Amino acid sequence: MELVIRTLLKHTAAGQGETHVWADGKTRKKVGKKWVLIGDTSKKTISQKKIDVQRKGRTYFDYAMSTNLGGVVEEVLQSMGIEGYSALVTKIKTSSGDTAHKIYKKVVDTLNADPAPQGDKQAAIDMIGRSLVALKRQFTTGVKTKLKIKVKSKKGVYYKYESSKDLPVLKASAISTAKKKMAGWNITGKLESKHVRGMLKTKAAKLIEGKIDSKKKWVLPVKAEDMEMKYKSKTLLIRVKQIRKIKDRTRATAKVEIKIPYAYAKAFLQSQIKGKKTASNFIFRLERSAGYRDFLERSGA
């Protein structure tokens, strides 16, 4: 009888909040169906703490995206050049200290203007706010991370972080592939109708409206709305057109979309976009996008 009682006691499930010292000498607490390690969390390394913060930020970010107004939050972030959580981390990490606040304010203003129920708005605002707070606390007090570039000196080669206007060094095969797609257009030079027609054949271009006139000039993008780039894409999409004047205004006679391969994307933005702010914004987004980083990983010399 005594053996039966001891056996029953041995297999009785621990109650919620109950603590036990395990064989490894560490104390654990029953939480739900799991035993959670408790003790001095200050012993965590700095890198472990950073990982924990980013995980927390990721969790709240995912919660925000899963709310009824997650799509609205996503659109706001995309309008600021933020395509996903990794891009949000990079944005806060490399920008001024008030970046998180600016993002939060824009999200709040946009959601408050939405006709959705107040409860849905508050849920989305609360979750994205928690994500931003977690990231702000980690990154805005530290050193800002910039682009990593290779520097050669008399003592050898080393790497340092700074903004760079240099174009990436690519494999010959990557440049050759991009060159064929562009049908003779060298990106930094004048765009002509023969190039456009050639790109229509290579599928790098698509005629959206009108008819191409070999005698007319092509107007390259002027505003950000004339270009498009997704976080995980492989090309920079631009919209070009031919126009004719009608009294005090102009009318497009032909509209074409061109997909510029990443091998030429930065060179195009630097040389062909007159608005410095627009060009800088797209270069910033380009160099921090997953698609471009994957491209450099595969095609960098």
The residue that leads in pLDDT, 280 or 2, is 280
Residues 259 and 286 in one domain: yes
Considering only CA atoms, which of 238, 249, 293, 242 is closest in space to residue 271?
238
Confidence of residue 5 (pLDDT cuts 50, 70, 90): very low
Evaluate whether residue 258 is within a structural domain.
yes
Of 19, 267, 53, the closest CA to residue 165 belongs to 267
Residue 191 and residue 290 share a domain: yes
147 occurs within a structural domain: no
Shared domain check, 95 and 32: no
Three-state DSSP class for residue 268: helix
- Over residues 10-44, the pLDDT tens digits come to 445 666 667 777 766 677 777 666 777 765 444 45
pLDDT of the residue at 74: 92
Average model confidence (pLDDT) across the chain: 81
Domain that holds residue 247: 172-299
Beta bridge partners of 157: 152
Where do the DSSP E strands lie in the chain? 19-21, 27-31, 34-37, 148-153, 156-161, 205-210, 227-228, 235-246, 249-261
Q: Kindly report, residue by residue over 122-152, the tens digit of the pLDDT.
A: 889 988 988 888 887 776 543 333 445 566 7
Number of structural domains the chain divides into: 3
20 and 51 housed in the same domain: no
C-alpha radius of gyration, the chain, whole number: 27
Q: Which of 80, 114, 139 is the last residue of a domain?
A: 139
Sorting pLDDT into bands at 50, 70 and 90, what band is 166? low
- Whether residues 25 and 122 share a domain: the answer is no
- Residue 149 inside a domain? The answer is no
